[in-house]
């Protein structure tokens, strides 16, 4: 069964969604992040993907009090990304309640640091954030593209025990046009020991069903949930194999 992971993006402690990672194309939602997480958990969605967008721009976590409130919700576990650029930031995120840390820019620019974190904290707690635009890895809140492919990035950390990676196709993010299934099936086949999480483009439950048919293991759902394209009731029925 593919794992459905709802997304919460934060700016100033509020839930937002961006289109294609563009901070100028921002939609703010009224729901309190902790209340949103509670609703997810009530429908069986207990692993929550949270991005501190302020932290991504500031290169340091900015929404840790909100993380604490979300992590305090019974039964949930938070994977947290945004601004994790050093040991202190990583410890702060774990101390605030994050179960997993998602690391993107630092992993690409300072691979020795991320490799050290995998060794110290274990591959079960460290998630590679490998986001791509036109085949190249993008960093700094998707503001800068590197001359580095996602395959190159994943290969760097296989000897360290890397077991989890989130790959966002930025061109699909927030666009509700369906995920890049070819990209994810290729990656999962090329690196079978890594659990790849599909991110970007989910527009309906049919998209999720298709990903499961293709053997993919995890999927992040963001804008489609907030705009009712995928409902929590549908997700719950799917997880109970009633859909």
- Active site residue ranges: 9, 131
- Rounded to 5 degrees, φ, ψ at 153 are -65, -45
Q: Give the Å distances, CA to CA, from 237 to 28, 78, 147, 224, 241.
A: 28, 22, 42, 17, 6
Residue with tokens 């759902």, as numbered in its chain: 221
For 96-146, where are the alpha helices, taking DSSP H only?
105-109, 111-121
Residue 5 CB contacts under 8 Å (≥ 6 apart), including other chains: 45, 47, 48, 49, 79, 197, 218, 219, 220, 221
Terminal-residue alpha carbon distance, the chain? 12
How many CA atoms, within 13 angstroms, populate the side-chain half-sphere of residue 38?
A: 8
Q: Give the Å distances, CA to CA, from 218 to 61, 62, 79.
A: 25, 27, 13
Residue of 191, 184, 190, 187 whose CA lies nearest to 212: 184
- Rounded to 5 degrees, φ, ψ at 102 are -100, 120
């Amino acid at each position: 069964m593919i794992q459905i992971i709802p997304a919460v993006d934060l700016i100033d402690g509020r839930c937002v969604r961006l289109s294609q990672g563009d901070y100028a194309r921002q939609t703010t939602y009224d729901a309190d992040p902790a209340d949103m997480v509670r609703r997810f958990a009530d429908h069986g969605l207990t692993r929550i993907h949270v991005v501190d967008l302020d932290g991504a721009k500031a290169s340091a976590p900015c929404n840790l009090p909100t993380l604490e409130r979300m992590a305090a919700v019974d039964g949930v576990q938070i994977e947290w990304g945004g601004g994790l650029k050093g040991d202190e930031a990583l410890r702060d995120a774990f101390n605030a309640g994050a179960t997993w840390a998602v690391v993107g820019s630092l992993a690409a620019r300072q691979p020795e640091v991320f490799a050290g974190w995998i060794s110290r904290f274990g591959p079960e707690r460290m998630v590679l954030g490998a986001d791509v635009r036109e085949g190249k890895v993008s960093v700094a809140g998707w503001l800068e593209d590197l001359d580095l492919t996602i395959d190159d990035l994943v290969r760097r950390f296989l000897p360290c025990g890397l077991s989890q990676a989130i790959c966002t196709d930025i061109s699909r993010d927030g666009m509700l046009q369906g995920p890049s299934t070819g990209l994810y099936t290729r990656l999962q086949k090329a690196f079978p020991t890594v659990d790849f999480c599909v991110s970007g483009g989910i527009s309906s439950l049919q998209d999720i069903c298709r990903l499961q048919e293709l053997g993919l293991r995890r999927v992040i759902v963001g804008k489609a949930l907030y705009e009712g394209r995928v409902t929590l009731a549908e997700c719950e029925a799917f997880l109970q194999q009633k859909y």
